[in-house]
Amino acid sequence: MIDWLAEAKKYQDDLFRDLEMLLTIPSVRDTEKATAEFPLGPGPAEALTTMLDLADRDGFSTKNVDNVAGRIEYGVGTETLGVFGHLDVVPAGDGWHTDPFKPVVKDGRLYARGSADDKGPAMAAYYALKIVKDLNLPLSKKIHYILGTDEESEWFGINRYLEVEPAPDFGFSPDAEFPIINGEKGIASFKVTFKNALPITGSVQLRSFTSGIRENMVPQNAQAVLAGHNLDNLSDQFTDFAAENELIADAQLEDQGLILSLTGKGAHALEPDAGVNAGTYLALFLSQLSLDQAGQQYVQAIAEVMHLDSRGRQLGVAYHDQLMGDLTASPDIFNYQAGENNSVIINIRYPQGTSATTINQQIQTTLAKFGNNIQSEIFGHAQQPHYVPASDPLVQTLLKVYEHQTGHQGQEQIIGGGTYGRILKRGVAFGAQFPGQPNVMHQANEYMPVADIIKATAIYAEALYELAK
């Protein structure tokens, strides 16, 4: 019997040295800085080469696929076990108490962007593979540890990998929760466009409205600029509105007009109720004013059918499945400039039984009451719901390992998040967030408990051995 936790603790210093180096890399997808060599920008590529260099150092075979994905390989056999991690992160955003790219350990927690999603779990899985290798354990299957670099956006890297490299037969992604995630809702974003068709003149005009930095993040900040007459009174109204709703407000009267800024709370879009959407709250406030027709249409639609509507009831897309639960809807990107076509991007996680096409039609029908200049379209790549039955040997083995390592009963789970686990027909997500821990992914001051990273390493090491022996 191998004491996997004791083995993991032997590597603790080395693991955290390597992890902290990885966390200092701001590996946000940045196509504005893309080159032929670095299609997703320099940050993701640097994180990938750093990880592959670690594996080369430790004697693994590695492969870099176009600086957008890579593989660490170990073992031989006719079957291949895949482990799928990602090295990109969402933008840091505001509200951090420390530098998001300078890791800090405080009160037993490692704070940094990517500590929980997904560099901490990814490094735990890497060191688990290193433990299996260093113990020279007999395996009958190959292990391919595959690393993507834009999981938080369009999955270009992992899709490119699968175009040119063989897909594993089965596997897991260390990018969610324990005890297991064997089902994931479908994920699609919808771009609602307000075509420039209405007057933008009036006593109070909406000049601009912006909120959100990523379509899978509940926006923490929002800002609008108003122009017109008698704007002084609005500052006090805005401050009172923010106080009533436990938000932070700032109003500044400058040459370009009255600038209204609102701060809520960011969160992962998989559960919008975990955040406080600054964008929809700002629209709610503005909808109570008498704006120009174009501006009023924009904020009225948001306030009436998107605000505090995490289950999509007002939007007309609500759906519930007994296995997968509720559909969730999160309006996450708001862009309005007077005199232009304007938009809202809504991120929706949907269970089996409905589809992205159906949802798009429902959005279009609901918004028609606000005007015939509004259109909805599926934005980016839509992902179908995914489920691996609880009876599958992969699920059963991983639950057995979890129970052995923790002493707690395991059970199947289905989430609204999307992981690389859905790439394979027999693919699941497995950790590394433990039950009872708050989900701080995509939030300011993201962290992962130090002890949990080591515990996850032990679980992953046993899992790799049990699945590949």
Crossing angle of helices 119-134 and 12-23, rounded to 10°: 140
Q: In angstroms, rounded to a whole number, what is the distance separating the alpha carbons of residues 40 and 144?
A: 23
Q: Tell me the C-alpha to C-alpha distance, in Å, between residue 167 and each of 77, 82, 142, 164.
A: 14, 8, 12, 9
Q: What is the pLDDT of residue 118?
A: 97
Q: In angstroms, rounded to a whole number, what is the distance separating the alpha carbons of residues 179 and 396?
A: 11
Q: In angstroms, rounded to a whole number, what is the distance separating the alpha carbons of residues 282 and 210?
A: 10
Contact 418, 384 (CB under 8 A): no
Catalytic residue among 151, 177, 326, 452: 151
For the chain, residues classed under CATH 3.40.630.10 are 4-183+386-468
Is residue 445 exposed (0-12), middle (13-18) or buried (19+ Cβ within 10 Å)? Answer: middle
| Strands 432-433 vs 176-177: parallel, antiparallel or unpaired | parallel
Which pair of structure tokens corresponds to residue 235? 């500052």
Per the DSSP assignment, residues forming a β-bridge with 62 are: 72
Third-level CATH fold of 4-183+386-468 = Aminopeptidase (3.40.630)
DSSP 3-state of 7: helix
pLDDT of the chain, 469 residues: tens digit per residue = 899 999 999 999 999 999 999 999 999 999 999 999 999 999 999 999 999 999 999 999 999 999 999 999 999 999 999 999 999 999 999 999 999 999 999 999 999 999 999 999 999 999 999 999 999 999 999 999 999 999 998 899 999 999 999 999 999 999 999 999 999 999 999 999 999 999 999 999 999 999 999 999 999 999 999 999 889 889 999 999 999 999 999 999 998 899 999 999 999 999 999 999 999 999 999 999 999 999 999 999 999 999 999 999 999 999 999 999 999 999 999 999 999 999 999 999 999 999 999 999 999 999 999 999 999 999 988 999 999 999 999 999 999 999 999 999 999 999 998 899 999 999 999 999 999 999 999 999 999 999 999 999 999 999 999 999 9
Q: In angstroms, rounded to a whole number, what is the distance separating the alpha carbons of residues 259 and 2?
A: 62
Q: What is the pLDDT of residue 125?
A: 98
HSE (side-chain half, CA atoms, 13 Å) at 323: 15
Q: Which distant-in-sequence residues (6+ apart) come within 8 Å of 99 by Cβ?
A: none
Report the Cα 251 to chain-centroid distance in Å: 31
Q: In angstroms, rounded to a whole number, what is the distance separating the alpha carbons of residues 242 and 15?
A: 44
Q: What is the pLDDT of residue 315?
A: 98
| 175 has catalytic annotation | no
DSSP strands (E only) in 240-398: 248-254, 257-263, 267-268, 320-321, 325-326, 328-337, 342-350, 374-383, 386-387
For the chain, residues classed under CATH 3.30.70.360 are 187-383
Q: Tell me the C-alpha to C-alpha distance, in Å, between residue 40 and each of 100, 117, 173, 205, 300.
A: 21, 18, 21, 38, 37
Contact 332, 217 (CB under 8 A): yes
132, containing H or E segment: helix 119-134
205, containing H or E segment: strand 204-211
| 88 has catalytic annotation | yes
Q: In angstroms, rounded to a whole number, what is the distance separating the alpha carbons of residues 315 and 338?
A: 25
Q: In angstroms, rounded to a whole number, what is the distance separating the alpha carbons of residues 145 and 461?
A: 13
Catalytic residue among 7, 46, 66, 88: 88
Question: In the CATH scheme, what is the code of domain 187-383?
Answer: 3.30.70.360
Total-model pTM: 0.88
